[in-house]
Structure formats: C-alpha cells, structure tokens
Amino acid sequence: MNISGKKAIVFGGTSGIGLSTTKILSEKGASKIVAISRNPEKVKEVPKNVELVKLDVLDEEGLRDFYKEQGEFDILVNSATGGARALGPFLNMDMEGYRNSFFKLWGYTNVVRYGTEYLKDNGAIVLVSGSPARNCRPGYIALSSVGGAVEAFARGIAKEIKPKRINVVSPGTIDTPMSPLEGSERENFYQNATKGNLIPRAGTPEEVAQGIIFAIENDFITGTTIDIDGGWLLS
C-alpha cells in the first residue's frame, strides 16, 4: 500500500508507539490521520493533518458512532493499552488484576469488530501485542496471556476479512512515556530489563512504528506477527 493520500485511524495515537506511528504516517503523505486516546489533550504537538479525538476503546457505543461519522478509511492501527497491566508471579497475583489485563484484548476486538466494515477492501489493520506472548519471562504471565490472545485473534480473523489485511507487531522492552520512572532509576530499570537480550537496550517507539509502517505498506503479509524486540525471543 502506498500511504500517500490514504486516511488512517490510530488508536493510542497521541503517545509512545502510537504517536510515532501517527508522525510517520504524516511524513509519508497520509491525507488525514485521526489519532484517538482517552486523554488527547496531553499531546503537545501533532502534524497539521492530524485530528485528535477523545474516545475509550472499551466504549462500544462510542466506537460505533465514531466509525459512522468517519466513514471509509484505509488504515487502522491500535496501540492503545485499554487499561492496567498486572505484573508478578501468577500464584501471588490478584485475580481481578489479571482479568483487568484483558481490557487490552477487549479494546482491540471492539476496534476491529466495529471498524472493519468501514475499512476499504485494500485496507490494512495493525495491532500491537508484545514479546511475552511467545517468550514469557517470570512475572509476565498476564502480558503473555493477553498478547498471545491478540496474536491468535489476528491469525483467525485474517481468514474472515480477506482481502482486507490484519497483522500484529510485537515489541520487546520499549522506552515509552508509560513508564513513570525518571533519571537514573529509569536508566537502571531498562538496563536490567534488557541485559540478557541479544541487543541489550530498550527499543524506541520510532523503531516499533517502523514495523507498523512495514505491515501497512507490504501488501503480501496478513495474519502474521512482526517482532521488534532486540532479540527477546532468542534470549
């Protein structure tokens, strides 16, 4: 797909991976980009062809109304987390926290369920999972469960929506604004989290966004997962 002149919708498009994706889509000539988040007012600056919309991916009625208002489009990206993420050993985990981690999955499925009918036949959908989906380290069972479900969903739905395409990008440890840590504490956290990886550093939102753009532009891939993880799966 040639992104130039295309209309794109990016959920989670005002921060981190989503914001980087929004900026690259603009650079590549997308005619219009709608960046959605729960708090769009927090974004400081976006390209001129970006419209900011406040919407929660768990709001099914709001999604229906949003898509109806937008009409046809070419590109759908969802990098929104959908809610809290539980960490720690499963046998010590609060089960409500574990269940709440699946808000990400429900958000993704809502976005695809109500948006696909407005996606053009040559359109592309890209979701974001995470490396724990296929290489779960201790303490990451909730992320692994949700990410694995996202990837299985994309593989299954790809058969139903053809010729429209859907793919998943799976990031490893990425330094994004989601982390509340600052200064040396932040630096030490990412060093410790990635020291066993083949590429021992945190990735950047821009590096993940490049993978998302590849999944959009390459018309010969669907139902697959692209890893942007610094070698997490092999570590």
At residue 193, φ and ψ (nearest 5 deg) are: -70, -25
Give the domains, in start order, of the chain with CATH numbers.
7-226 (3.40.50.720)
Q: Per-residue pLDDT averaged across 197-220, rounded?
A: 97
pLDDT score of 81 more than 90: no
Q: Per-residue pLDDT averaged across 84-89, rounded?
A: 85
pLDDT winner (highest mean) among 82-91, 128-137, 161-170: 161-170
Q: Look at 181 and 195; give whichever has higher pLDDT.
A: 195
Q: How far apart are CA 120 and CA 70, in angstroms?
A: 13
pLDDT tens digits for range 21-51: 999 999 999 999 999 999 998 888 889 999 9
DSSP 181: -
pLDDT of residue 192: 86
pLDDT score of 75 more than 80: yes
Dihedral of alpha carbons 107, 123, 156, 134, sign: negative
In the sheet that holds 119-128, the strands lie side by side as 50-54, 32-37, 7-11, 73-78, 119-128, 165-171, 225-228
Q: What burial letters (b/e) apply to 188-207, b meaning 16+ CB within 10 Å?
A: eebeebbeebeeeebbbbeb
pLDDT score of 121 more than 80: yes
